[in-house]
Amino acid sequence: MTLFLIGLAILIAGYFTYGKLVEKIFAPDDRETPAVALKDGVDYVPMPHWKNMLIQLLNIAGIGPVIGVIIGIKFGEIVFLLIPIGNIIGGAVHDMAAGMMSLRSKGANLPKLIEDNCGKTFGTAFSVFMMLCLLLVVAVFINVPANLIDDLISGIAGSDPQSNTFFWYAVIAVFVYYIIATMFPVDKIIGNCYPVFGALLLIGSFAILVKLMLEGIQTPAILQESAAFKAGMIKQPILPMLFITIACGIISGFHATQSPIIARTMRSERQARSSFYGMMVIEGIIAMIWAAAALAVFNIAPETMRLAAPVALGRIVNHFLGSWIGGITVLSVIVLAITSGDTALRSCRLSLAEKLKFNQQPLRNRFLVCLPMIVVVSLLLWWSNKSAESFNMLWHYFAWANQVIAVCTLIAATVYLSSLKKPAFITFVPGAFMFFITCTYLLSSKTLGAPLGLTVPLHISQIISAVLACAVVCWAVYLGKKMAK
């Protein structure tokens, strides 16, 4: 209980202290925003601040702060400190940097921001990598909600939940929604639906917080590591595995692909800290709540630790909220996954169109850009559902690719701040750390239980990664200072 409360306090205090410092360094002002200057009624559409905040929250949240932390808490109570610390000095800074760079670059998407700061060759390679990663995200965020929908309908219909009777119907329905949402103007579907979905997520999460606190006061031991919990803990090294397992809540490169969507709908730069930094902090609070709820249930019913995370999710909400409200909360988690998949596809469309310099105002042009993406995602869905091993492989690539994007974003932000002669430590510190994490994982992934990768001994890969991380940061600072001249 103590570590959990300390973690929440770090998140709240961090927003008003470190978040204020980050805002001062980026210095949002009263200049005209892309939403106003480039208004086109499709992607550049000024929207109310409260809507932008909820849209950003749902864009970045995904299933990470729920499903990811249900797995991640198995590393132990240390998660209650690593989530808030990583969030405040890493993830929230990362999201703010991507949003502010986009605001200052006519609402440019992440590949353009990388190219402008790190050079055309690097930017082109990154564009291909990021768009493939986003298509992986789309495929993952079709599969996960489709499985949850299948389980939910099977339970209502009384059919065998292992039969996957409704799975492919759900896949088709979710995919069709993604295509529609990515082609329609941002204020028509996303702008109208997301505030409702955001309210469902917040209500469900904070209802669990209230019940959790009441149970925790009566039985403090449920938020501590019991002997049974320790027996089922993940035995993999925290560095790097925790930061690959828990992305949303700590730091996630996927967020940097989403911030430009909101940069194109903001009326004022002065909304940046609450929209970007603040919504990441809220996501961190949500992650803390679900991590604590999972820990409590794992202590009460240790056998739950052996269940798949989506199944454990059902046990958690039923324990705290009962079957009726719990069912609504599961629905909100389904929505959570869907609302990341649709904007991932939208971000991919925007990035590809920007690269090709293809006007996106005509609906026909939007469809033409989406068509090859639809084909690729369809192939990924077919392949990933051939077997459990195929889906695990898909998730493996998604997990580490997500953090590679985070590294590239923070390195580009370091160049950007250095070129403006501003303090770049806020981006190169988390950038160097995440480079170390990602490089260590890629070098040792096979020995850490990943389906593919290299087998360099962990201690050697950590030394190599630390040296390379320092070199990359020095390069970024040098490049920024060179640009400043």
Residue 418 in domain: no
Look at residue 162 and tell me whether its pLDDT is greater than 80.
no
The winner for highest mean pLDDT among 61-75, 125-139, 331-345, 464-478 is: 464-478
Q: Which of 184, 182, 180, 187 is nearest to 46 (CA)?
A: 187
pLDDT at 92: 98
Q: Is the predicted pLDDT of residue 234 greater than 80, yes or no?
A: yes
Mean pLDDT of 214-243: 90
List pLDDT tens digits, range 80-98. Answer: 999 999 999 999 999 999 9
Residue 427 lies in a domain: no
Q: d(Cα 94, Cα 430) in Å, to the nearest integer?
A: 8
> Which pLDDT band, with edges at 50, 70 and 90, does 326 fall under?
low
Q: Is residue 483 part of a domain?
A: no
Q: pLDDT value at position 194?
A: 77
**Residue 305 pLDDT greater than 60, yes or no:** yes
> Which pLDDT score is estimated for 325?
63
Q: What is the CATH number of the domain that holds 9?
A: 1.20.1740.10
Structure tokens at 351: 């990035």
The reported pLDDT for the residue numbered 108 is 96
Q: pLDDT per residue over 373-386, tens digit each?
A: 999 999 988 887 77
Amino acid at 181: A
- State the number of CA atoms in the 13 A half-sphere of 406 facing the CB: 36
- Is 388 part of any domain? yes
Residue 122, judged by CB atoms within 10 A of its CB (0-12, 13-18, 19+), counts as middle
Q: What is the mean pLDDT of residues 237-257?
A: 90
From the centroid of its chain, how far is CA 21? Answer: 23
Q: Phi and psi for 188 in degrees, rounded to 5?
A: -85, -55
CA angle centred on 422, ends 416 and 424, rounded to 5° = 65
What distance in Å separates the CA atoms of residue 462 and residue 447, rounded to the nearest whole number? 13
Q: Is the pLDDT of residue 152 over 80?
A: no
Q: Name which residue leads in pLDDT, 394 or 398.
A: 398
pLDDT at 320 over 80: yes
pLDDT recorded at residue 19: 98
The closest alpha carbon to 166, from 147, 144, 143, 140, belongs to 147
Enumerate residues 6+ apart whose C-beta is below 8 A from 48.
Answer: none
Residue 40: which residues within 8 A CB-CB, separation 6 or more?
360, 361
Q: Which of 133, 132, 188, 178 is nearest to 339 (CA)?
A: 178
Most confident of 4-18, 241-255, 363-377, 437-451: 4-18
pLDDT greater than 70 at residue 387: no
Q: How far is CA 441 from CA 197, 241, 394, 459, in A?
A: 35, 7, 16, 11
Which has the higher per-residue pLDDT, 394 or 251?
251
Cα(110)–Cα(104) distance, integer angstroms: 12
Q: What is the mean pLDDT of the chain?
A: 89
Amino acid residing at 284: G
- Would the CA dihedral through 278, 284, 288, 290 be positive or negative? positive
* 379 and 390 Cβ atoms separated by less than 8 Å: no
Separation of first and last alpha carbons in the chain: 52
Highest mean pLDDT (candidates 224-238, 323-337, 467-481) = 467-481
Q: Decide: 299 and 228 in contact? Cβ < 8 Å.
A: yes
Q: How many domains does the chain have?
A: 1
Q: How does pLDDT run across 407-426, given as a tens digit for each residue?
A: 999 999 999 999 999 999 99
Highest mean pLDDT (candidates 333-337, 356-360, 396-400): 356-360
Residue 316 forms part of a structural domain: yes
**410 inside domain:** no
Tell the burial category of 98 from Cβ atoms under 10 Å away from its Cβ (0-12, 13-18, 19+).
buried
Share of the chain above pLDDT 90, in %: 61
Would the pTM of this model clear 0.85, i.e. be above it?
Answer: yes
| Residue at 421 is within a domain | no
Which structural domain range is residue 362 located in? 2-394
Is pLDDT above 80 for 154? no
CA nearest to 201, candidates 343, 79, 50, 337? 337
Percent of the chain scoring above 70 in pLDDT = 94
Tell me if 399 is assigned to some domain: no
